[in-house]
């Protein structure tokens, strides 16, 4: 690839096979990008070793210990400057607004404390795009707004193990198989304020037969993820992705609006 290289930050929680696919694509010059840091919420994330082997700086923001610490004395927790609970509560649609307000408050406050630490750890490494590569924590509007600081410019990508909008959540391949789907797939999308709900950049699919198991479905899906993520990053690097709002008149007085990705 011969274009200007973009700087990628990556967040992982586990094995990091997607991270490896992106590292390989960068090293083999298949995409116009380089990874400037790898962060994790999980001190035991196996993917950290992949980053270290590729000489990429790493850091850990230990979410579990932050959440535990908060639980000991929620009222004395020190919240990040500029964190407005009411504003974040109203923007987010990760969790139903009907949830017990105390639980919602604790969720958003613990995440904001952890997210502020993540942001501080990321600060030494300016980046153009943040990729979530098996990062198993939801991001709140507090974090998202710090990254997407220009209106309409989406800078956080995620890979999801299902053909969204079917099967959001943590076990996309398992949910697809258990439902009896005859096709499974993976999706790369931009992050918005909901869970796996942001504008879709790309998808790949594979057939599922009666003899497939969860393991074989995961294996088929991951092989496609390793192609789809670098391809999607390259489209971003080439400046080809834009998010536009589409409005559809459904007749009978109803309409449907959705922000979608257009690739030039
Ligand atoms: C992938 O299936 C990805 O779609 C999901 O988490 C898994 C991460 O795998 N978000 P790995 O850590 O990249 O191997």
pLDDT tens digits for the chain (264 residues)?
Answer: 888 999 999 999 999 999 999 999 999 999 999 999 999 999 999 999 999 999 999 999 999 999 999 999 999 999 999 999 999 999 999 998 889 989 999 999 999 999 999 999 999 999 999 999 999 999 999 999 999 999 899 999 999 999 999 999 999 999 999 999 999 999 999 999 999 999 999 999 999 999 999 999 999 999 999 999 999 999 999 999 999 999 999 999 999 999 999 999
CB 6 within 8 A of CB 129: yes
What per-residue confidence (pLDDT) applies to 1?
83
159 CA closest ligand 1 atom index: 4
Residue 160: active-site member: yes
Q: How far is the CA of 38 from the centre of ligand 1 (A)?
A: 15
Asked if 5 and 238 count as a contact pair (C-beta separation under 8 A), the reply is no
Atom of ligand 1 nearest to the CA of 21: 13
Which atom from ligand 1 is nearest to the alpha carbon of 218? 2
φ, ψ of residue 200 to 5 degrees: the values are -85, 130
| Burial grade of 31 (CB within 10 A; 0-12, 13-18, 19 or more) | buried
For residue 34, give the nearest of 57, 68, 17, 63 by alpha carbon.
57
* 72 CA to centre of ligand 1 in angstroms: 32
Q: From the CA of 88, how far away is ligand 1's center (Å)?
A: 27
The first and second tokens of residue 146, run together, are: 């710090």
- Model pLDDT, residue 104: 92
3-state secondary structure of 19: helix
Ligand 1 is surrounded, with C-beta below 6 A, by 12, 14-19, 47, 133-134, 159-161, 186, 222, 225
Q: Tell me which of 50, 160, 189, 204 is the catalytic residue.
A: 160
Strand residues in the chain grouped as ranges (E): 6-12, 33-40, 58-60, 129-132, 156-160, 183-190, 200-207, 241-251, 254-263
3-state class of 221 per DSSP? helix
- Identify whether the C-beta of residue 1 lies closer than 8 Å to the C-beta of residue 234: yes
CA-CA distance, 261 to 189, in Å (whole number)? 9
């Amino acid at each position: 690839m011969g274009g200007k290289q973009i700087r990628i930050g990556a967040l992982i929680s586990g094995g990091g096979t997607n991270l490896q696919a992106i590292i390989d694509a960068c090293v083999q010059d298949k995409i116009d990008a380089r990874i400037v840091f790898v962060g994790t919420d999980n001190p035991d994330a196996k993917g950290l070793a992949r980053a270290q082997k590729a000489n990429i700086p790493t850091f850990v923001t230990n979410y579990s210990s932050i959440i535990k610490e908060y639980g000991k004395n929620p009222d004395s927790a020190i919240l990040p400057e500029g964190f407005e609970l009411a504003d974040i509560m109203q923007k987010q649609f990760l969790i139903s607004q009907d949830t017990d307000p105390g639980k919602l408050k604790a969720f958003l406050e613990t995440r904001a404390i952890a997210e502020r630490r993540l942001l501080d750890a990321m600060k030494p490494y300016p980046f153009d795009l943040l990729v979530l590569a098996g990062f198993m924590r939801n991001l709140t509007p507090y974090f998202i707004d710090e990254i997407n600081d220009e209106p309409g410019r989406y800078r956080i990508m995620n890979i999801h193990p299902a053909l969204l909008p079917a099967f959001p959540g943590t076990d996309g391949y398992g949910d697809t198989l258990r439902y009896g789907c005859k096709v499974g797939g993976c999706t790369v999308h931009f992050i918005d304020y909901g869970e796996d709900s942001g504008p879709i950049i790309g998808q790949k699919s594979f057939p599922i037969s009666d003899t497939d198991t969860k393991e074989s479905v995961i294996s088929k899906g991951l092989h496609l993820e390793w192609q789809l993520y670098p391809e999607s990053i390259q489209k971003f690097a080439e400046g080809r992705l834009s998010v536009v709002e589409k409005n559809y008149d459904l007749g009978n007085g109803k309409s449907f609006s959705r922000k979608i990705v257009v690739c030039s």
